[in-house]
Structure 1
């Protein structure tokens, strides 16, 4: 049985570390947590959708509807906040 988000505490540092690892692997660039990935050329809309799938699978969350706005994916800080918020919502259900 795999460990789900509701079975463990999701920690901001762990989320940021995983996002940094994924982004570095895919873009061959190290990004600061507050860098606007779209403005600085690190992210295209197609890559953003790949990132959404990665985040959903890695953190056992569903990103749907209004949460799919581009502003939730501009920076690693934005993505970390989104994962924390959705994981907390899942845990309270």
Structure 2
């Protein structure tokens, strides 16, 4: 079964790094993070999933892999529905 959140994140990352196949648990961001790409990922997630990522969640670990970004979206969306 397809996960729409995962599919959208994977497609976005794939469009930015087209010649590289990245598994869901492989690093997207590494030690030499391109700051523009990092900001783009935050904006993409906020726009695509209609959420606001709190400053406390803006940690490299939350954007390091597709799995981590999916967990972040799920967590922030769940927090938004509780408030």
Name the TM-score, length of structure 2 as normaliser. Answer: 0.86
Matched, 1:49 2:39: yes
Q: Is the 8 A contact 1:23 1:30 kept in 2?
A: no
| d(CA) in 1 for partners of 2:31, 2:39 | 18
Structure 1: gaps (5+ residues): 1-11
- The CA RMSD over aligned residues, in Å, is 1.9
Q: Name the structure, 1 or 2, with higher relative contact order (CA <8 Å, separation 6+).
A: 1
Q: How many residues align?
A: 81
TM-score under structure 1 length normalisation: 0.78
Query: Counterpart in 1 of 2:80?
Result: 90
2: CA distance, partners of 1:84 / 1:50: 19
